[in-house]
Amino acid sequence: MNLPIIAPSVLSADFANLGRDIEMINNSEADWFHIDVMDGVFVPNISFGFPVMKAIQKQAKKTMDVHLMIVQPERYIKDFKAAGAAILSVHYEASTHLHRTIHAIKEEGMQAGVAINPHTPVHLLKDIIKDIDLVCMMSVNPGFGGQKFIEQTYTKCADLKEMILAAGSNCLIEIDGGVNEQTGPKLLAAGADVLVAGNFVFAASNPTATIAQLKSMVPYTSKQA
């Protein structure tokens, strides 16, 4: 897959016109659907659950990248597989037995991701980095679309890239929150592989063109290359 991978966040779609917005993503240069599931406990908001995901699954022609903002995510791994998840990310802060959960996700045939909150340092991922396919690095506090980007993310992203390269891992870095025309290029320069974008895409007058704008951003190239 050509980098950067672009994952519009369905959270910012118009739910009264969800079919139209899914079709827009299908016909755009987007690579993935980013699906945010919130339980009102791990985060102070409730988004949607399995019935909505299954409706998306019926129409989506691209990878469903599911970001769980829920406590005890290990309880629902099989259900998310059945609802169409190809990539399933659980929060570091919500997973007591993260290693077990990651392997349970992989046993269901999905790719496994770990999401980290803005306050969680990347070094805590050192002993799991070879087991995971993706780190979803939160660049806002999870719970809502359209929030202000936290500047510290650039340094965190560069540190994580260094850790991934040193480990010889193929893990992708996904940045979630406040991605736009200003932050996107700097994130890619710092090592990001996947850009999630909600408000930037769906509040735009031309969402398809905005996705194309993100896709045309210059991907990360190692300084040694």
Enumerate residues 6+ apart whose C-beta is below 8 A from 154: 186, 187, 190
Closer residue to ligand DX5 (CB): 67 or 156: 67
Tell me which of 21, 36, 133, 193 is the catalytic residue.
36
- Binding residues for Zn ion (CB under 5 A): 36, 67, 176
Interface with ligand DX5 by CB under 6 A: which residues?
9, 11-12, 34, 36, 67, 140, 142-147, 176-179, 196-200
Query: 122 in the Ramachandran plot: left (φ > 0), alpha (ψ -120 to 50) or beta?
Result: alpha
65 is catalytic: no
Name which of ligand DX5, Zn ion, none residue 199 binds, using a CB cut-off of 5 to 8 Å depending on partner kind.
ligand DX5
Output the smallest distance, CB 139 to Zn ion, in A: 10
Q: Tell me the closest approach of the beta carbon of residue 44 to ligand DX5, in angstroms.
A: 10
Is 36 part of the annotated catalytic residue set? yes
Choose the one of Zn ion, ligand DX5, none that binds residue 197, judging by a C-beta under 5 to 8 angstroms depending on kind.
ligand DX5
Q: Which is nearer to ligand DX5, 107 or 151 (CB)?
A: 151
SS3 101: helix
Side chain identity, residue 18: L
Among candidates 200, 211, 128, 121, which has minimal Cα distance to 157? 121
| Rounded Cα distance, 23 and 6, in Å | 16
Shortest Cβ 159–Zn ion spacing (Å): 21
Contact at 8 Å (CB) between 115 and 101?
no
Phi first, then psi, for residue 175 (nearest 5°) are -110, 130
Active site residues: 36, 176
